């Protein structure tokens, strides 16, 4: 007898897989020893992850034209998660002194409020919240086409500040941390998700797969250009032109993915709501495991990757069961 399909589990599985790839992208690839080049493959494969989360957020909140649920999500979920984990990473890395010794330094406050401080991955939470609120607010007054154009202009500006700075002959403006935060990187993807929901735009899985393949191919070519043409390592490029089709294609692939009603779909649904917490907490677990790792090698690197995902997931699921600690788990 054919198993019934769970059509909602595809997006849940996409969120869990994306979270796993975030951990892979943040590894110190020297832990793989002679196989350190595996990091390049991880980084190319990681390109769809951030756009996927941004598009999915815009799409989810595109079901309403009210600003209230968006503000509630940004203020009640993202803001506490961001603030708490910024403080945790400051304590864990003993870098409170940087803030206390430079209270009037604007760069320090930007590093803390926009980039996540020592939790350098937390920039995503602040930028996601700002983008959702900004896009929904502006959508009250202008057309979605205008917002998409503004998002594309911001994205182009981010490219010139980051990945394409050497290509454009702007080495002094190469500041990847600035190029990826709101509004440069995220706005166009949140706006696309919102537009897709409100317009009813869809892609078949065949077209989505073709778009994703074109995106990853273009992304790999761009990363090679930056690496071999301008000496910029793969891992210093947060996004490129190919990121756009790659992210959009993967989003619609997971939209079309229907999983059999089995253990995979069950656990995907259970873990999906915890992905924000796993995202926030994983770095502290990862760095602890890497600092106590045995001899570098392929097995060491892969083991740390899987163990980080499992331990962080267990931690976040546990936190979600304690009312006073739920904020830590997103």
Q: Is the pLDDT of residue 64 over 70?
A: yes
Instruction: Determine the Cα–Cα distance for residues 315 and 222; give it in Å rounded to an integer.
Output: 37
Instruction: Determine the Cα–Cα distance for residues 39 and 102; give it in Å rounded to an integer.
Output: 35
First to last CA, the chain: 39
Q: Token digits for 162?
A: 């980051």
pLDDT tier for residue 284 given thresholds of 50, 70 and 90: very high
Q: Token digits for 204?
A: 């078949």
* Residue 226 per-residue DSSP state: I
Mean pLDDT of 289-315: 93
Instruction: Determine the Cα–Cα distance for residues 306 and 296; give it in Å rounded to an integer.
Output: 15
pLDDT digits over 192-206, tens only?
Answer: 999 999 999 999 999
Q: What is the pLDDT of residue 148?
A: 93
Spell out the residues 6+ positions from residue 156 whose beta carbon is closer than 8 angstroms to its own.
Answer: none
pLDDT tier for residue 112 given thresholds of 50, 70 and 90: confident
Q: What is the pLDDT of residue 110?
A: 78
pLDDT tier for residue 309 given thresholds of 50, 70 and 90: very high
Closest CA to 59 of 186, 183, 211, 200: 200
- Higher per-residue confidence, 6 vs 53: 53
Q: Is the pLDDT of residue 269 over 90?
A: no
Peptide bond before residue 164 is cis, with ω within 30 degrees of 0? no
pLDDT digits over 177-194, tens only?
Answer: 788 999 999 999 999 999
**Radius of gyration from C-alpha coordinates of the chain:** 20
The answer to whether residues 24 and 280 touch, using CB atoms and an 8 Å cutoff, is: no
* Residue 236 per-residue DSSP state: G
Percent of the chain with pLDDT over 70: 94
Closest CA to 275 of 113, 124, 141: 124
**Residue that the structure tokens 């920039």 belong to:** 123
Distances (CA, A) of 91 to 13, 36, 85, 87, 117: 33, 30, 10, 6, 11
């Amino acid at each position: 007898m054919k198993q019934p399909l769970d059509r909602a589990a595809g997006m849940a599985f996409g969120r869990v897989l994306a979270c796993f790839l975030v951990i892979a992208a943040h590894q110190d690839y020297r832990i793989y020893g002679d196989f350190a080049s595996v990091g390049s493959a991880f980084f190319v494969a990681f390109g769809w992850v951030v756009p996927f989360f941004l598009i999915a957020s815009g799409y989810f909140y595109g079901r309403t034209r009210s600003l209230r649920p968006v503000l509630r999500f940004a203020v009640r979920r993202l803001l506490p998660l961001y603030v708490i984990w910024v403080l945790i990473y400051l304590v864990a890395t003993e870098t409170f002194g940087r803030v206390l010794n430079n209270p009037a330094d604007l760069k320090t406050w930007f590093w803390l409020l926009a980039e996540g401080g020592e939790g350098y991955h937390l920039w995503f939470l602040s930028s996601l919240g700002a983008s959702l609120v900004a896009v929904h607010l502006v959508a009250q007054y202008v057309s979605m086409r205008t917002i998409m154009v503004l998002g594309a202009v911001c994205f182009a500006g981010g490219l010139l500040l980051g990945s394409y700075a050497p290509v454009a002959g702007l080495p002094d403006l190469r500041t990847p941390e600035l190029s990826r935060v709101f509004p440069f990187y995220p706005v166009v993807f949140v706006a696309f998700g919102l537009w897709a929901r409100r317009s009813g735009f869809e892609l078949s899985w065949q077209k989505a797969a073709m778009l994703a393949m074109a995106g990853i191919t273009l992304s790999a070519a761009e990363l090679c250009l930056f690496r071999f043409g301008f000496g910029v390592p793969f891992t210093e490029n947060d996004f490129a032109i190919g990121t756009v089709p790659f992210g959009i294609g993967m989003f619609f692939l997971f939209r079309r993915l229907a999983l059999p009603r089995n253990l995979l779909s069950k656990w995907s649904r259970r873990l999906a709501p915890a992905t924000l917490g796993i995202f926030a907490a994983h770095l502290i677990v990862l760095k602890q495991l890497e600092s106590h790792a045995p001899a570098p090698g392929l097995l060491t690197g892969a083991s740390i990757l899987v163990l980080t995902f499992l331990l962080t997931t267990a931690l976040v699921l546990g936190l979600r069961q304690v009312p006073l600690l739920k904020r830590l788990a997103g």
